[in-house]
Amino acid sequence: MASKQIISYGATVERSTDGVTYTPIPECKGVAVPEVEQEYPEVTSFDSPNGFREYIKGLKDGGEIEVPCGYTAAGFEQQLADQAAADAIYYRATLKPAPDQSTGDSFTYRGFPTPRLAPGGVGDPIEMTVMIRVTGDFTWTRGS
């Protein structure tokens, strides 16, 4: 049986200020999607059975993610403008289609970006990382 796994080459990572018109993040080198963390507040009381701690489900957090990019003046300028925006930026990462798909899976979320230049040596390409503080839920859409 042939594998249905794919590589990340061919994916796209885009950003938008309105959630409708998306533009690519220049020289993007990686796909990053939120990792949801679930909080479990402790609610143990004198009535808790057999001396066990008790918990309930609390809030979720999408955390911070890093999108690796090659540095370009246009890419850095784009991210500085997004960082200065009052509202969260929309992001969409779309994978290339798997062998049994005609469109790839996509992930959409919102966040507040901070562009950072990565340290490098004399002969290394200049790299940039876009740190995104995720806000709210994210959506996964299976490719067809």
Domain boundaries, the chain: 12-141
User: Can you give the pLDDT at residue 141?
Assistant: 98
Q: What does the pLDDT look like over 22-67, one tens digit per residue?
A: 999 999 999 999 999 999 999 999 999 999 999 999 999 999 999 9
pTM, full prediction: 0.91
State yes or no: pLDDT of 77 exceeds 90.
yes
Beta-carbon contacts of residue 120 (< 8 Å; ≥ 6 apart): 126, 127
Domain 12-141 has CATH 1.10.3470: no
